[in-house]
Amino acid sequence: MTFKSIIDEIENNINKILGDLSISDVQFTVEPAKPGFGDVSSNVSFLLSKQLKKSPKDIAEMLSEKYQHCTNTIVLKTAAHPSGYLNFFANWEKLSQLILFESHLPEFGDVDIGKNSTIVVEHTSVNPNKALHIGHIRNIIIGDAVSRILKKANYKVNVLNYIDDSGLQVADIIVGFKHLGFDQESPDGKKFDHYCGDDVYVKTTEKYESNSSLEEIRRNILKELEDGNSETAKFADKITRRVLANQLETCWNLSVSYDCLNFESQIIRSGLWDKIFEKIKEMNLIEFENEGKNAGCWVIRGENKEGDKVIVRSNGTATYIAKDIPYAAWKLGLVDDPFHYQKYDKEQPSSRVLWQTTLDSNNESAQNFTGQKVITVIDSRQARLQKIITSLVAKFKSAPDAYVHLGYESVTLSSETAKVLGLDTDGKQAQMSGRKGLYVNADSVYGLLKEKTKDETKKRHPEMDSSDVEKIAHNVAVGTLRYEMIKQDLDKIITFDLIKSLSLDGDTAPYIQYTHARAARILEKSKRTPSIDVDFSLLKEQSELNLIKTIGMFDMQVRDAVNNLSPKVIARYCHDLAVAFNSFYEHVKVLELGDESLENSRLCIVDSFKITLVKALDLLGIVAPDRM
């Protein structure tokens, strides 16, 4: 049992008291208490004040007296706070034993919200014409963390990466290769995705302003991309798959993996759009425009003064949103699956099998990557498009929350970080644009973080083997990037600062990872195997109890993160856990006490902390090193 066990006990007893008083339907809360309010507190007295025509303080006193007659296992006593809150104090000997024992179980922190139902999480979905930049990383890390947390909540999660290999940005690099003479091999060993983004894409888009004929060439290429048998489509497939391979290497390096790659070009050629197109016409969800700027186009009428949205252009090509509608229906299993599947030709470092869609029949076993619910991670700038898709899908499937857009704001670079990475921003934050070439690729940020960590690790541990230094530097660099993308609210812009993010103080991944290393060092120095068979009555110091309480709240934080689709909740919990441990470390000694029983009891706490932090950080995709 975790800290929730005392909350459940209190809720049950309060409901019993209210039942004896013939009071029902009171939606009170029972929560971990703030300092000065015991261990747990409830607002029930405030909610009864009007009904009972008494002050919250008087009601709290009455309820406190009645609570003494309830059967209690973990609650030691109750008290009415002068403010009106009803406060509860734990029997910490019993609660500590329950929490620390359960923390050693493999399923510690699990919550059964999903009931083994299937859910789709789609993230990344970066055009295969360039390297991933630091802005893309927020999408990727949010999607991966949400997937991990949902698994902890007993969902069967299918993680998809949508490859937009037939859109405008792909057409742009095809113009560059086919009509502007760009070499198909990147120079000087440069990664192919970097070359396509930094050179081919940026320089091609610059040419449109001075050469208007290129616009017509691009339009023709865009149409040819939809014909899978055209030479242009075959060439584009070869180029985009090379870019994709490099993008996946970046993702895998950041501990991100997938279940299936879905190619837009195949969705277009599969016939899915034709079926959905006819269906939404029959349902009068779209209209044909006969005149005006959208003449000859099929449009979705705007709502609340929003403009109409074109889904099929006058030349017959589908827009981005038109391609996304059948894909959304496919993810929910609302249409027959037109795809075959084959294993991707490179193995993911996680050993997780990666499948990809294909229209060619093969001998592979049938796969199913649909879900009863879909979460699509896309930045907030596409909120309107996602709202349209969500609305349409809701009309296909009578479940309003079956298709969820998980939006987030953009990432900027601090002026200092931009300068270090070679961008001159005149002292301002760097707003990124792939089209203008104003971005810093994720590989570069990772590389710089890793080098700085290697330098610091060598200073602290000159005796350390180079392979160990390399491993620590990698784990800290990845942890830093991931934590910085997760710790902020999704609706807040992130300003990434290279130096601050590596600090061993404050709300950073290295601070949390270093705290884990500190705990590992204590256990190592003890030269004994921690045991759960200890005297829990010896754990009385406030810093000890605060740490145990924080450990015991793991499953509650997982539940909160799942219900709000917020990986930030787990990031905050990891930081709170580290803060609680460091307070414990500062206030009490663990070793060399001259009291073996007390040492063993405190080592039990240290071990439980270490186990819990590893589990919590894993939900964020962050490794907890034993040395730093």
Beta-sheet pairing, 403-406 with 373-377: parallel
Cβ proximity of 539 and 548 under 8 Å: yes
Q: Angle formed by the axes of helices 202-210 and 168-179, to 10°? A: 80
Angle at 136 between CA 217 and CA 160, to 5 degrees: 90
* pLDDT tens column, 236-278: 999 999 999 999 999 999 999 999 999 999 998 898 888 888 8
pLDDT, greater one: 574 or 292: 574
Distance, in Å, from the CA atom of 293 to the CA atom of 289, rounded to the nearest integer, reads 9
SS3 404: strand
Six token digits for residue 191: 């990664």
* pLDDT tens column, 131-152: 999 889 999 999 999 999 999 9
Q: Amino acid identity of 500?
A: K
Cβ proximity of 573 and 554 under 8 Å: yes
Q: Amino acid identity of 517?
A: A
Cβ proximity of 67 and 78 under 8 Å: yes
Cβ proximity of 511 and 505 under 8 Å: yes
Backbone conformation region of residue 366, classed left if phi is above 0, alpha if psi is from -120 to 50, else beta: beta
pTM here? 0.92
- Give me the sign of the Cα torsion angle 473, 474, 479, 482: positive
Q: Does residue 235 carry a pLDDT above 80? A: yes
3 state SS for 355-372: EEEECCCCCCCCCCCCCC
Q: How many percent of the chain have pLDDT more than 70?
A: 98
* pLDDT tens column, 319-335: 878 878 899 999 999 99
Domains and CATH numbers, the chain: 4-90 (3.30.1360.70), 118-269+325-408 (3.40.50.620), 413-498 (no CATH), 509-619 (1.10.730.10)
* pLDDT tens column, 80-136: 999 999 999 999 999 999 999 999 999 999 999 999 999 999 999 999 999 999 889
Cβ proximity of 403 and 393 under 8 Å: yes
Distance, in Å, from the CA atom of 388 to the CA atom of 507, rounded to the nearest integer, reads 37
